[in-house]
Structure formats: C-alpha cells, structure tokens
Structure 1
Amino acid sequence: MVKVELIRNFPLFRNFTEKELREISEYLDYKVFSKGEVLFEEGDPGDRIFFIVKGRVDLFRPDAFGNPVKVAVSQEGTPLGELSFFSNHFHSSRAVTPKETHVLILTREGYEKLKKEDPQLAIKLLEELAKVISERLKEMNKKFVDTTCFIWGGPKK
C-alpha cells in the first residue's frame, strides 16, 4: 500500500475520486530505483505495470550487432510496461533508469485481487490506461505518416 499523496497528482488517476484513490493505493507498491538500475530486461515476463512518479526510464533494443540502442523514453507521469502486462507477453525492450526514479508498481497479483474485490475500479483503471495507449498509438501513427509522407484520406464515401 502506498500513500494517497503519491498517486493523487499522477495524470492517469486525475479522474479518480478520493475514495477510489485510497482504495487503489492498497494495490500499489512504491519503489525507488537508483541511477542505472534495470526495471526489466528484454524477454522478462510482463507481470507488472510501472507508474513513473519522478524521474524517467530509457528503453533499449539491440541493433543488428547486439549493441543497445535507445528506442524510447518514458517520462514521469506515464505508465510503463502496460502493453506486455495486458497482452501477457514478454517485454520487447530493456528498461533502465538514467537517474534516480520513483515508481508505483501494480503487480499481476495486485491487479487480479483488484478485479476480484472491486471490478468497477478495475474497469476504471483499464479505461484510463486505454486512453494512454490510444494517445501513444495516435502519436506513433502521426510519426509514421510524417516519416513516410503517407496520406490517408479516410474511408471512401
């Protein structure tokens, strides 16, 4: 369980009531990672979601020669690992903290317990995470269009 103050200002939880914040705090853990610590390796199971409270996480993938290449950065105020978590797949990158980073953690066990004890709150959490994932997808689509100069006019009438 974490202090409500840690999640109250987290963007993902801004639409949660005080009662919901208190309840969801019971399912979250809090951890501080030092500079250079690994949250997960490529191939690790996606068994937790990280909510970056302070700091950031760099994501790396190996290039054709096995050298690590930074492919993304997750800033404070964002969730991390939710795609692997909900797809029940392994992580496709290595996550490293370039500086001290504070995170909230929702484990698979905690999420299953939340679903069982308060399905409505679990649904609300899922909906908020779906919004984040949708925004990321829109951003990736825009980058794809900008990079390839691909123009899609939408469905034909």
Structure 2
Amino acid sequence: MLEPAKTIAIFQKQSDPKIFSTGEIIFEEGQSGDVMYGILEGEVDISVNGKVVETIKTGEVFGVGALVGIGNRTYTAIAKIDCKLAFIDKKRFLFAVQETPMFALEVMKTYSERLTRLEHSL
C-alpha cells in the first residue's frame, strides 16, 4: 500500500500551491468542485452542517469526490491553521491514477474512511 507520504508526493510536484490563512474557507458544502487538495503544510477542519467532524493534517488529501463523480462538495473545508495546499484537477488526477495505480487505491481508501467517519458523526 502507498503511504500518505508517497500519496502527497504526487501533489508536491506542483509549482503554485495555494495558501490559506487560519479560518479561511477552502470550499463550502454544496459548492461544485473541480480539484482535490493535498495538505503540504497545516491543518484543515472538515465540517458538515456547521459542525467540525474531523481535522486533517499535513500529508493528507481531501476533496476527491469532485473528481470521481460526486457533483457537489459534501462538506466544508476550513483552514484550522495557516495552510499550504497543492491541488490537482481531473486531468492530472487521471494521469496520476494511470501512472501510479497505488495512488488510486490510497485515495479511495482515504475517501472511504472519511465518508464512514462523516456518516457516523451525523
């Protein structure tokens, strides 16, 4: 299995990561999305209906639903502390999946685990 460090390595090749300040909204529940994110530095709170259900940290990925057919974001992502986030669009995601099949498995595992946690917190 690919470790989170290797998963995030796919994002680290990006030359223009986005910077978010503490408290800044990365995306909101219900918005459409066209990228997924990898946390290069920082922490992100995941909230549903205004309630924080999870905090994710450096090395983790989020927002993948937008690239695998989920129309709108199912949660809100907010920078818990200052963050540096890399992002990939669907074209780069599909390339990464094709070139590194273990990346796809790790992303699916992360996505599945997050959905399970979200379901149990509602």
TM-score, normalised relative to structure 2: 0.72
Count of residue correspondences: 116
Q: Which runs of 5+ in 2 are unaligned?
A: none
Paired residues for 1:3-42 under 5 Å: 11-13=4-6, 25=13, 29-42=16-29
Contact 1:47 1:88 in 2 (8 A): no
**How far did residue 48 of structure 1 move?**
0.9
Paired residues for 1:1-157 under 5 Å: 11-13=4-6, 25=13, 29-62=16-49, 68-111=50-93, 114=95, 120-121=98-99, 123-134=101-112, 136=113, 140=117
Distance 1:61 1:132 in 2: 18
Q: Secondary structure at the match of 1:83?
A: helix
Q: Which runs of 5+ in 1 are unaligned?
A: 1-9, 63-67, 145-157
Contact 2:21 2:82 in 1 (8 A): yes
**How far did residue 90 of structure 1 move?**
0.7
Distance 2:25 2:5 in 1: 23
Deviations 1:63-90 (A, max 9, x none): xxxxx22122112111011133313321
**How far did residue 43 of structure 1 move?**
1.0
Q: Secondary structure at the match of 1:87?
A: coil
Amino acid at match of 2:106: E
Distance 2:59 2:5 in 1: 8
- Which of 1 and 2 has higher RCO (CA within 8 Å, sep 6+)? 2
Q: 1:29 to 1:90 in 2, by over 3 A?
A: farther
RMSD: 3.2
Q: Which has the larger radius of gyration?
A: 1
Q: 1:12 to 1:126 in 2, by over 3 A?
A: farther
Deviations 1:120-149 (A, max 9, x none): 315343123123335x26x74xx96xxxxx
Report the counterpart of residue 153 of structure 1 in structure 2: none
